[in-house]
Amino acid sequence: MASVTGRALTGRPPLRFSTQTLLLQLAVVALVVLLTSAVHAWLTYDRLGREAENQALTLARTVASDPDVRAQVQQISALPGTPPAAELLAGPLMAAAEGARTRTGALFVVITDETGLRLAHPDAERLGERVSTDPSEALAGREVTTRNTGTLGPSAGAKVPVFAPDSGTVVGEVSVGYSTETIGQSLARDVVPIVLTAAGALLVGLLASFLLRRRLQRLTLGLEPEEISTLVHDQVAVLQGVDDGVIGVAADGRISVFNAAAQRLLDQPDLTGTPWAGAPVPEALHALTRADAAEGDAVELVAGGRVLVASARKALHGREDLGWVVMLRDRTELQQLTRQLDAVGTMSTALRAQRHEFANQLHTIAGFMSIGQHQQARDYLARLAATGPLKFPVDQAELLQDPYLQAFLGAKGVEADERGVILRLGPETLVRGQVTEPQEVTTVLGNLIDNAVNAAVAGSAPERWVEVEVLDAPGTGTDGGTLHIVVGDSGDGLPASGPDGTGPDGVGPEAAEAVFTEGFTTSERPARAGAGHGLGLALARQLARRRGGDVRVLDPGSPGGPGAVFMATLPGTTAPTEKKPSERDNDA
């Protein structure tokens, strides 16, 4: 608002911040140079003045200690009056004073009697007159240095008492002065290097200010402080307000941005300021920012128990390379939702089929009633009551007390049946508790069942089946129970680790671990877009290990069947089922 108002009042845009900074720096440099030069000139002037005072004091002492001068001053001071000016002009004191002045270049050499009357003076008309400056200090026997203005102009000088030759009585004084104009001329000669030094310092200051301005513009990319402040607020609002992870990698290879979403998705602390090459992130992210990487390509990876889609783009400002921007999007919930929708679709298909079966049964009963075969109708209803009107797709589902597991395995049973695979529960299955983490359980269990069904379909065994055993173990204290899942199939087992595999049937431990690598798949079915093939087992293992459990291969299987057997352990995913009031009463 201030900048708009200033523009409206002055009729021209306000100065840029870099220009204001430059002008301020120039003013400060000029002020410092001027003050320094003035102080240096004053110190030089004061030094020259002190030198003139010392020189005048030395000359005054020399004149005052001359025996002839002392005798002549004593003699004149003893007279009742002062001799005439003409006599003083031709006397020895005048000759001695003028000789000393001429030899040393002093402005004046003045000799007075004990009353301050001039006995020698450069101006003959001033002889016999009282001196213009106070001689009392010198006449009292003390030497003094002075800077004052007399009849001959401003001067720096000294006053020295003249003592009688035969006693310590003050009979007069000698005043010597050097013109301050001579000091000014000396200063004028000395000020030349001062001016040159000041000009050089000012020039260096100007150059440094221009260089600093250019660097400031380069560092701020030519932006004004208000624009930088706005950008910072916008950056914080955008980076912290989006659900997508954002990682900024500067041109020097260091992480410049690592927002909260990236920390959450990668399960890492804030890595801002650390080298990108050594950052503890999946290798797939490092590969996206290599020089030979294709810009804009998206890859799927598993990190922090999540399925992520990552992409990277080069950041440019004009022609300046600012580094890379890596974007992370969470597809875990989308995959879970897709899996749930598939299960719902499968169950709806099964329910439609069962609805037709139930309608046929009603038509049969109606036919018996219409032809009067009441007994046969009753027998038919008895058989239906004994077997149930609807057939659940998974045998022995009553071993699972949790309705979520029943529905999920039922949907998987219908889907497997459509592909010619029988899904059955193993004899060791027993779940007495209730699932408390259905999303993680169905993610792990669903991936294992899907892989087993694919393996059974691709296997060479004439009978295709998948067997699932689920067993829950109660937890201790406040910890939830542990769910143990074992899934086997009729497929041909895991592929061999090499032509000379070291494990049973040519399958080595390398192959058993390779199935948990991101991107590993043995499916020959065409992959759907975004289906996430090759990520299921890796995601299932990360989810289990994050809870303190694991997913591993119990048996790699063998060609011709039976196939591989996987086991998953999921701690803290079940809780005891609360009994109904009637059941609690019976227990009591």
3-state SS string over 15-56?
Answer: CCHHHHHHHHHHHHHHHHHHHHHHHHHHHHHHHHHHHHHHHH
Q: What does the pLDDT read at residue 252?
A: 85
Q: 459-469 b/e with 16+ CB inside 10 Å = b?
A: beeeebbbbbb
User: What is the spatial distance between Cα 505 and Cα 165, in angstroms, rounded to a whole number?
Assistant: 136
Q: Which two tokens stand for residue 393?
A: 């797709």
Phi, psi values for residue 200, rounded to 5° = -65, -40
Position of tokens 């020039």? 203
Residue with the two structure tokens 């009591």 = 588
CA 306 to chain centre: 26
Going along 282-421, which residue ranges are E strands? 298-303, 306-317, 320-330
- Residue 390: per-residue pLDDT: 45
Q: Work out the angle at residue 392's Cα, subtended by the Cα atoms of residues 390 and 396, and round it to the nearest 5 degrees.
A: 130
Residue 545 corresponds to which amino acid? R
Q: Token pair of 366, please? A: 């109606």
What pLDDT was estimated at residue 231? 74
For residues 5-43, one letter each, b for 16 or more C-beta atoms within 10 angstroms of the residue's C-beta and e for the rest, the string is: eeeeeeeeeeeebbeebbeebeeebeeebeeebeebbee
User: Coil, helix or strand for 11?
Assistant: coil
The pLDDT score that the predictor gives to residue 481 is 85
**CA–CA gap between residue 223 and residue 20 (Å, rounded):** 14
Across 242-277, b (16+ Cβ under 10 Å) vs e yields eeebbbbbbeeebbbbbbebbbebbeeeebeeeebe
Q: Which residue stretches of 276-331 are H helix?
A: 283-288
Q: Answer whether 413's CB lies under 8 Å from 394's CB.
A: yes
Give the model's pLDDT for residue 145.
Answer: 86
Q: Round to whole Å and give the CA distance between 310 and 298.
A: 5
Cα 55 to Cα 74: distance, rounded to the nearest angstrom:
26
| Measured distance CA(269)–CA(275) in Å, rounded | 14
Q: What pLDDT, on a 0 to 100 scale, did the predictor assign at position 130?
A: 87
pLDDT at 1: 42
Strand order from edge to edge, sheet including 320-330: 255-258, 245-249, 320-330, 306-317, 298-303
Q: Which residues pair with 467 in a beta bridge?
A: 424, 488
- Both tokens of 244, joined, read 């997508």
Is the pTM of the predicted complex or chain greater than 0.75?
Answer: no
Looking up tokens 């004028």, which residue turns up?
Answer: 188
- The pair of three-digit structure tokens given for residue 267, joined into one six-digit string: 């399960």
Give every CB contact of residue 270 below 8 A, 6+ residues apart in sequence: 258, 263
Beta bridge partners of 120: 111
What is the chain's pLDDT, residue by residue, as a tens digit (588 residues)?
444 444 444 455 566 666 777 777 778 878 887 888 788 778 877 787 788 888 888 988 888 888 888 888 888 888 887 788 888 888 888 888 888 888 888 888 988 888 888 889 888 888 888 888 888 888 888 888 888 877 777 788 899 999 988 877 888 999 998 887 666 666 666 677 777 877 887 788 778 878 877 887 777 777 777 777 777 776 666 666 667 788 888 888 888 888 888 888 888 888 888 898 888 888 888 888 887 666 667 777 777 667 787 888 887 777 777 788 888 887 766 666 666 666 566 556 656 666 666 777 777 878 878 888 888 878 877 776 655 444 555 666 667 778 778 878 887 887 888 888 888 888 888 888 888 888 788 888 888 998 899 889 988 888 899 999 999 888 766 677 899 999 999 988 887 654 444 444 444 556 667 777 766 665 544 333 344 456 678 878 888 888 889 998 888 888 877 888 999 999 988 888 765 555 445 554
- 306 three-state secondary structure: strand
CB 505 within 8 A of CB 558: yes
Rounded CA separation 469/442 (Å) = 14
* DSSP label of 504: G
Q: Rounded distance, CA 196 to CA 190, Å? A: 11
Q: How far is CA 166 from CA 67, 170, 428, in A?
A: 10, 11, 141
Q: What angle do CA 330, 332, 334 make, to 5 degrees?
A: 95
